[in-house]
């Protein structure tokens, strides 16, 4: 009697299951980042239908970003305590239900509340996807490839927002910008329940309520104040009061985590791990670089070259595709080259690309002054972003991958929020008027500052071991 080994068949089945799980994590990350920008193009239509106030319309965007960034630490810790399956499925349910409410909203207040709830769902989902990757891809090269795919999904989600939002709003209605999430979310919930094991990555513990409240409220207040500074200035009460309150709450949070919490939501000892501390620091600085690339390049195309929002989104598509392709290649290079080498190569691309972009003017052409440098910058983002995430989470202790991922994602979000406020202030202060030439000079200063941030990232990366891998 001949016995046929089933080992190869089982190996193929396990590999297929792992890559299906990766597809689930990437799809969730794509949705989370897509909804940061997809509504931008739809805002005029939303305003016409629901009648927002002059300042209220911005909260269709800010309500999502604020809760997303503010609740990320809590979402990361909850993923460790309750398991990624529960948090991912629960986050998808909250996100999808909020999308349904937003799509059916008949008042401005309901739509903003729905966006706040979407942000909470996103904060549950994003750290859980990192836990999923770390727990299902334990071999070094496979984990690097998974991080590359996850990073590419998020980057493409961010870039697809303008194109998708414009197409959906023009072809259907702004309401479908939200409603389209409902069937997609339902499919992803079924996949999460079917493919993810109902396990916890950490021990059964009580949630640190005081830490959760002070940390979440502190981050939210800080980010809210930074957002307000873009409209009212850094010295205004509208900005200073929430920033001061946020810093005070974060001080209380730090004291509680260091001394008073039995099961801290953020164990401060994690920052003794060099990869966690340095990786998060690089992601904080990188937030400003990413904002300079995607947000201010879009403004340059629209305000200086007079592109429509949809055309500007299409104009950035080559960079998005380049980023996606390079991120996948960076995953293959990471185990051989190490974190520091890829970060330094990416930072060199940033300096060259932003230096070139800073020469653009009102008379510049798209191909020679925008396309060329953004492709170089996209190569840098593709080399660095998955590398930053891998560096920050590679040495996370078992059972604390979620909170480490939450710290890394929060650093990136906070860096982007602060970067947007600072760079917008610089662009406004250095632009002598509203003419295309004046606006171009302000954006050029922003691009030079982004090159400076790249140099700072390179210097921080020197704190990593020379051959640290992801």
Please report where in the chains the tokens 């051959």 appear, as a residue. 467
Residue 469 has pLDDT above 60, yes or no: no
Of 348, 367, 71, 293, nearest to 340 by C-alpha is: 348
Tokens of 94: 């909250």
Sign of the alpha-carbon dihedral angle for 458, 407, 138, 384: negative
Mean pLDDT of the chain: 81
Q: Do domains 18-203 and 269-470 have the same CATH topology?
A: yes
pLDDT at residue 260, rounded to an integer? 59
pLDDT at residue 291, rounded to an integer? 79
Residue 55 has pLDDT above 70, yes or no: no
Residue 54 has pLDDT above 70, yes or no: no
Do 174 and 408 touch, CB atoms closer than 8 A? no
- Check: pTM over 0.85? Answer yes or no: no
Tokens of 367: 């191909």
Tokens of 87: 């948090």
251 contact partners, CB below 8 Å, separation of at least 6: none
Could you please state the CATH topology (level 3) that the domain comprising 269-470 is classified under. Growth Hormone; Chain: A; (1.20.1250)
Do 69 and 227 touch, CB atoms closer than 8 A? no
Indicate the pLDDT class of residue 250, thresholds 50, 70 and 90: confident
Helix axes 401-430, 108-136, angle to 10 degrees: 130
| CA dihedral of residues 137, 155, 407, 423 (deg, nearest 10) | 160
Do 334 and 468 touch, CB atoms closer than 8 A? no
Residue 349 has pLDDT above 90, yes or no: yes
Please report where in the chains the tokens 């994003």 appear, as a residue. 126
pLDDT at residue 290, rounded to an integer? 83
In the chain, where are the structural domains located? 18-203, 208-264, 269-470
Percentage with pLDDT > 90 across the chain: 18
Indicate the pLDDT class of residue 1, thresholds 50, 70 and 90: very low
Residue 235 has pLDDT above 60, yes or no: yes
342 contact partners, CB below 8 Å, separation of at least 6: 330, 333, 334, 383, 384, 387
Q: In 244-276, which positions are buried (b, 16+ CB within 10 angstroms) versus exposed (e)?
A: ebbeebbebbbebbeeebeebbbbeebeebebb
**Cα 263 from Cα 127, distance rounded (Å):** 19
Please report where in the chains the tokens 């970003």 appear, as a residue. 65
Residue 153 has pLDDT above 90, yes or no: no
Helix axes 209-232, 237-255, angle to 10 degrees: 160
- Which tens digits make up the pLDDT trace of 9-46? 555 556 677 778 888 988 988 888 888 778 777 777 88
Indicate the pLDDT class of residue 449, thresholds 50, 70 and 90: very high
Give me the numbers of helices (H) and strands (E) for the chain, helices first please.
Answer: 19, 0
Lowest mean pLDDT among 75-89, 148-162, 310-324: 148-162
Of 39, 32, 69, 45, nearest to 420 by C-alpha is: 69
4 contact partners, CB below 8 Å, separation of at least 6: none
Report which of residues 88 and 389 the model is more confident about: 88
Do 386 and 283 touch, CB atoms closer than 8 A? no
Class of domain 18-203: mainly alpha
**Cα 194 from Cα 197, distance rounded (Å):** 8
Of 56, 67, 63, 43, nearest to 108 by C-alpha is: 56
Sign of the alpha-carbon dihedral angle for 48, 52, 53, 55: negative
**Cα 78 from Cα 379, distance rounded (Å):** 34
395 contact partners, CB below 8 Å, separation of at least 6: 273, 274, 275, 276
**Cα 449 from Cα 438, distance rounded (Å):** 17
Report the pLDDT averaged over residues 70-85.
Answer: 80
Of 286, 414, 292, nearest to 346 by C-alpha is: 286
**Cα 206 from Cα 36, distance rounded (Å):** 32
Tokens of 8: 């190869």
Do 469 and 140 touch, CB atoms closer than 8 A? yes
Residue 4 DSSP one-character state: P
Which of 117-121, 195-199, 208-212, 277-281 has the highest average model confidence (pLDDT)?
117-121
């Amino acid at each position: 009697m001949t016995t046929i080994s089933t080992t190869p068949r089982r190996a193929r089945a396990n590999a297929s299951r792992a890559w299906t799980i990766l597809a689930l994590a990437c799809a969730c990350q794509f949705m989370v980042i897509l909804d940061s920008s997809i509504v931008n193009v739809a805002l005029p239509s939303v305003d016409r239908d629901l009648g927002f106030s002059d300042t209220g319309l911005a909260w269709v965007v800010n309500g999502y970003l604020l809760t997303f960034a503010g609740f990320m630490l809590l979402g990361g810790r909850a993923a460790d305590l309750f398991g990624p399956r529960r948090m991912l499925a629960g986050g998808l349910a909250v996100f999808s239900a909020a999308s349904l409410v937003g799509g059916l909203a008949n008042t401005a207040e309901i739509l903003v509340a729905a966006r706040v709830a979407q942000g909470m769902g996103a904060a549950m989902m994003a750290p859980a996807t990192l836990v999923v990757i770390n727990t299902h891809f334990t071999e070094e090269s496979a984990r690097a490839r998974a991080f590359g795919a996850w990073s590419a999904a998020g980057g493409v989600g961010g870039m697809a927002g303008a194109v998708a939002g414009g197409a959906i709003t023009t072809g259907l209605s702004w309401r479908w910008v939200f409603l389209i999430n409902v069937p997609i979310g339902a499919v992803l919930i079924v996949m999460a329940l079917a493919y993810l094991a109902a396990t916890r990555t950490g021990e059964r513990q009580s949630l640190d309520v005081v830490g959760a409240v002070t940390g979440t409220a502190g981050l939210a207040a800080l980010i809210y104040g930074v957002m307000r500074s873009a409209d009212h200035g850094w010295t205004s009460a509208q900005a200073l009061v929430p920033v001061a309150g946020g810093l005070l709450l974060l001080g209380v949070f730090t004291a509680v985590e260091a001394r008073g919490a039995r099961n801290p939501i953020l164990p401060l000892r994690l920052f003794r791990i060099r990869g966690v501390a340095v990786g998060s620091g690089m992601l904080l600085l990188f937030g400003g670089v990413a904002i300079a690339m995607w947000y201010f390049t879009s403004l340059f195309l629209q305000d200086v070259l007079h592109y429509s929002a949809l055309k500007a989104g299409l104009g950035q598509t080559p960079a998005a595709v380049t980023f996606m392709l390079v991120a996948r290649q960076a995953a293959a290079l990471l185990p051989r080259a190490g974190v520091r080498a890829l970060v330094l190569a990416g930072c060199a691309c940033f300096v060259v690309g932003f230096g070139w972009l800073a020469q653009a003017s009102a008379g510049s052409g798209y191909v020679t002054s925008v396309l060329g440098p953004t492709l170089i910058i996209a190569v840098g983002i593709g080399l660095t972003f998955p590398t930053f995430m891998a560096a920050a989470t590679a040495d996370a202790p078992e059972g604390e991958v979620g909170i480490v991922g939450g710290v890394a994602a929060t650093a990136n979000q906070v860096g982007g929020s602060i970067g947007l406020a600072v760079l917008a202030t610089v662009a406004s202060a250095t632009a002598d008027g509203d003419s295309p030439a004046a606006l171009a000079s302000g954006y050029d200063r922003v691009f030079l500052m982004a090159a400076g941030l790249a140099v700072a990232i390179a210097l921080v990366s020197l704190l990593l071991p020379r051959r640290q891998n992801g």
